[in-house]
């Protein structure tokens, strides 16, 4: 199990929070590992666009992603590159 902590920063790269969420869900869906998004104690499946959009991804909020599975290391690295850059 790996945990990725991050701060939401969609900035100029994504025109809206929905496009930011869509990109993260798309990337997460490329992996077999189970991934859970935690924002301020609320948890949703990171591979569910409805769940991710409904959790409230606002600029500068703190969050974490719990990744569990055989490809968790690769998933962690890919998501870290997206979320922490």
Q: Which domains does the chain have, with CATH numbers?
A: 2-83 (3.30.1340.10)
Of 85 and 45, which is predicted with more confidence? 45
pLDDT at residue 11 greater than cutoff 90: no
Q: What is the mean pLDDT of residues 26-53?
A: 95
**pLDDT for the residue numbered 12:** 66
- Sign of the alpha-carbon dihedral angle for 58, 63, 13, 71: negative
pLDDT band at 27 (very low <50, low <70, confident <90, very high): very high
Cα separation, 7 vs 84, in Å, equals: 7
Cα separation, 44 vs 49, in Å, equals: 10
The whole-chain average pLDDT of the chain stands at 91
> What pTM was estimated for this model as a whole?
0.89
């Amino acid at each position: 199990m790996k945990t990725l902590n991050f701060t939401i920063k969609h900035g100029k790269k994504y025109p809206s929070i929905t496009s930011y969420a869509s990109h993260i869900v798309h990337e997460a869906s490329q992996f077999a590992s189970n991934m859970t998004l935690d924002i301020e104690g609320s948890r949703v499946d990171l591979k569910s666009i409805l769940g991710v959009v409904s959790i409230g991804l606002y600029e500068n909020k703190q969050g974490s992603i719990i990744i569990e599975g055989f490809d968790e290391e690769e998933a962690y690295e890919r998501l870290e590159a997206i979320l922490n850059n």
